[in-house]
Amino acid sequence: MITVATWNVLHRVHAENWGEDVLKYWPDESERIAAVTARLVGRAEQVIALQEVSGDQLASLRLALTGRTVHSLRYPRVPAPRQGRCSLRDPGEYLVLLVNGPSRENVTESFEDDRGKGTLAVEVAGTLVVATHVSGDQRRTRQLARLAELAAAPPGHAAVLLGDFNTDRATVASALGTGFTVADLPPDALPTRPHTSGSASPWIDHVVVRGAGVSGAVVESTDGLSDHNLVRASITT
């Protein structure tokens, strides 16, 4: 069994550009970065996928998580403030996988149609684990097709997809196709991306498996550290 989690930790520049509530709770980004790192240090999952990781956040994780392997993909696009200056030392945006135990990097690529989204895949205990962040518009169709292709590549191997898919469970399941299972959350699950208005689904962060079983999927509150909550689950192969 492999225990996994996925969490979009919210890049500071995106928070400022979109006026996210986290700015009110955490006006000092260095303090929020330390709090995010402290939250992750205490996690027991063997594999944790993170999206929207700033360079400053990544540096903090590398210093604190000495017992884990930190895999990362830096996107070609660097988030730029719409107003003012960026407070980050390294404003780059990263996709990250934190792994307990042996792992081997397999694929790292940004999507051709969105240089600020992509996929990072590593092999863990004979399973391909793919972290991803998918665009929130029509580009997702091509991107999900690419994810399905990557997950099906190792014949006879199980695959796990973890990430912010920017759409609901049914859309992800339909786009990935036969053989993939998107973890079903409890009826009373917290939103993975809480919001107060609009028609978009509040459950857009998912754990997906191919050739494996998934159970115990739960959404955990991150207490305002990000605009997303964390999703965790257990994988059996």
Q: What counts of helices (H) and strands (E) characterise the chain?
A: 6, 12
Provide mean pLDDT across the span 163-177. Answer: 97
Give me the pLDDT at residue 198, please. 62
Is the separation of the CB atoms in 29 and 87 below 8 Å? yes
How does residue 237 score in pLDDT terms, banded at 50, 70 and 90? confident
4 three-class SS = strand
> Where do the H-state alpha helices sit in 96-235?
140-152, 169-176
Q: Report the SS3 class of residue 116.
A: strand
Residue-range domains of the chain with CATH: 2-78+87-224 (3.60.10.10)
CB atoms under 10 Å from CB of 123, counted, come to 16
pLDDT of residue 195: 79
Predicted confidence at residue 196, as pLDDT, reads 57
Among candidate residues 159, 157, 155, the one with its CA nearest the CA of residue 130: 159
Confidence at residue 153, expressed as pLDDT on a 0 to 100 scale: 76
* 77 φ, ψ (degrees, to nearest 5): -80, 130
Q: CA geometry: angle at 214 spanning 209 and 216, to 5°?
A: 145
Answer yes or no: are the C-beta atoms of 92 and 51 closer than 8 Å: no
| Overall average pLDDT of the 102-124 stretch | 96
Q: What is the pLDDT of residues 1-58, one digit of tens each?
A: 999 999 999 999 999 999 999 999 999 999 999 999 999 999 999 999 999 999 999 9
Q: How far is Cα 134 from Cα 120, in angstroms, rounded to an integer?
A: 12
What average pLDDT score do residues 107-115 get? 96
Q: Tokens 């999900």 correspond to what residue?
A: 144
Instruction: State yes or no: pLDDT of 208 exceeds 60.
Output: yes
Q: What percent of the chain has a predicted confidence (pLDDT) above 90?
A: 90
